[in-house]
Amino acid sequence: MTENVETIMYFATHAGDNPEKACIAFVMANAALAMDIKAIVVLQGNGVYLAKEDYRKNMLPGGGFPPIDKLFKDFLELEGELHVCAPCIKLRNIEESTLPEGSKITAAGQVNIMAIKADAVFVY
């Protein structure tokens, strides 16, 4: 990717509570990556559960999409940028050591700066 590449930011705020929305965030992000557009996914709220592999493997897919575990792994393999909400994982007792390799723990200030710099922002 070039330095002046477009960036799209996706907020994934759902997991098993709304599998369709959880899947859509990653379907869209993976499509962007396939188009050579930088994709950033920020897991917030219940979306932070998607960072847990055992959770993803047991989650039923939504909306006729592939399993979320496959979409999630494809996103990481395509070199998507994954951010996880610091207060959200703390609230849900998710240990940082269990997060996927390469994921970044972020808080509100950092996320706001990324959103301002992004060319587009979607919330699912």
Instruction: State pLDDT tens for residues 20-69.
Output: 999 999 999 999 999 999 999 999 999 999 999 999 999 987 788 999 99
Residues with Cβ within 8 Å of 93's Cβ and at least 6 positions away in sequence, in order, are none
Q: Return d(Cα 98, Cα 10) in angstroms, integer.
A: 22
Q: What is the pLDDT of residue 2?
A: 45
User: Which alpha helices (H) appear in 17-63, and where do they start and end?
Assistant: 19-34, 53-58
Residue 6, pLDDT > 50, answer yes
Could you read off the pLDDT of 64-85 as tens digits, one per residue? 899 999 999 999 999 999 999 9
Q: pLDDT grade, residue 1 (50/70/90)?
A: very low
Instruction: Please check whether residue 41 is in contact with residue 85, taking contact to mean a CB–CB distance below 8 angstroms.
Output: no
Q: Which domains does the chain have, with CATH numbers?
A: 7-123 (3.40.1260.10)
